[in-house]
Chain A
Amino acid sequence: MERLLGGCPRSPGDGVMNAEDRSIRPEGPIDAYLDELLASIRDGEPSAVRRLLAETEAHLHESARRLHAQGLEPEEAEREAVRRFGPVATVTPALRPPLTALGKMPLRAFVRPAVGLAAVGAIAVGLSGALSEWFGRIWGAGFVAGDLPGMAYTAARCAVLQAPYPGLDCSRAAAEHHWGEVVEYRVALGVLGLLVLLISRFLPREAPLPAGFVPALAAAAFLLAAAATGLQTVNAAVQGGQGMGAWLSAVVVSFPLAVVFAVVAIRHSAGRVRYAPAA
């Protein structure tokens, strides 16, 4: 036990910072960490917040004491104790209800996360719009928004589509027109998403949802989006590749987001134990 935690037997007061140390450095890494923790859990249930802060503070100070006794300078010992404890996000799930309590949560607890998720989804659509613009510039409007074989326009519709693009035939003019729509509408939705995300920051914080629930939901939604748009991409590809880019841009954005949210969900829901083979 002692090897891990400093290698020195514990005695009352060993490594405890004396009054002189405190006067020189009143705010150390542990204080900064506790401030950060308090800021992130201030909306929790008061007694649970108090308990978690007390446990964290006692743990960090004991760890720092032992590391100091092992030979580290006081501030270095505190910094190492904080590093071993992990980021604030490691401990905040302690204030989250278990997944089984989800059905008993008030509906208002879901509003802020739902608005946040909708905003992130809209921003992702915006990113796919920006990507579609890039795809179109590289591979042409037809790659992004060309019609699948069999699509036909009336002469009147062709005239409308060709008006801004003199010299292009009807299908190419339609692709240019639809490329513009794909980019503009998606980017506009992305901007709207940014605004909603900003507004969601000001929504009242209600009871926290179970740890990892919101990221898991986001991961599932983005995975579903990636699967659906992936199928559409393949469908367009096997029919000549026209219009493939609009779907591909959605896959390129949604799949990595699904992975990122899944990793976040896993990290929030399970403590990780690392095995280090003996040398």
Chain B
Amino acid sequence: MNGQLDLLLLASLGAGEAHGYGLIARIHERSGWRLDLQEGSVYPALHKLEASGSVESRWADDDGGRRRVYALTRAGQEELARKAEEWKGFSAAVRGVLGTAS
């Protein structure tokens, strides 16, 4: 499932700001532990989303340490809505094909 990481991260950030580890945990939890990803790949994706303006980040204190936490920007919310619509459309199309095949 290449190319869906951005959508998953944006959707996960839709629940509120979080650091990379927390976002992965949300993705696992919300997917019923059906989606797995190489955890390190989240950071290049988050940095790319930040460079594109969909996400912003800041340092935050966490148990005495510093963590980089990410949040959706307004542009990110719009991007999330657009990508979610695209995915729903694609998903509906595949379901349609599967329905006619069964």
Contacts and interface: CB of A to CB of B under 8 A. Distances in A.
Partners in one complex: yes
B25 interface: yes
Looking at chain B, what size class is its interface with the partner chain?
35 or more
B83 interface: no
A275 B25 contact: no
A270 interface: yes
Interface in A217-259: none
Given A55-B20, A275-B35, A91 B41 contact: yes
Tell me whether chain A's interface is mostly helix, strand or loop, or mixed. helix
A85 interface: yes
A51 B8 CA distance: 23
Given A59-B21, A272-B5, A54 B39 contact: no
A121 B29 CA distance: 46
A12 B63 CA distance: 7
Given A54-B68, A62-B21, A274 B36 contact: yes
B44 A91 contact: yes
Interface in A261-277: 266, 270-277
Contacts of A59: 19-21, 39, 43
Given A270-B2, A278-B33, A58 B67 contact: yes
Contacts of A3: 28-29, 33
A204 interface: no
Interface in A17-31: none
B37 A274 contact: yes
Given A55-B43, A58-B66, A94-B43, A272 B37 contact: yes
Interface in B27-85: 28-29, 32-48, 51-52, 62-63, 65-68
Nearest to A274: B36
8 contacts: A55-B20, A56-B43, A86-B39, A272-B1, A272-B37, A272-B38, A274-B1, A277-B34
Interchain residue pairs A-B with the least CB separation, the first 10:
A271-B41, A271-B5, A86-B38, A90-B40, A93-B44, A91-B40, A4-B28, A94-B44, A1-B25, A86-B40
Interface of B: 1-5, 8, 19-21, 24-26, 28-29, 32-48, 51-52, 62-63, 65-68
Interface of A: 1, 3-5, 12, 51-52, 54-56, 58-59, 62-63, 84-87, 90-96, 98, 211, 266, 270-278
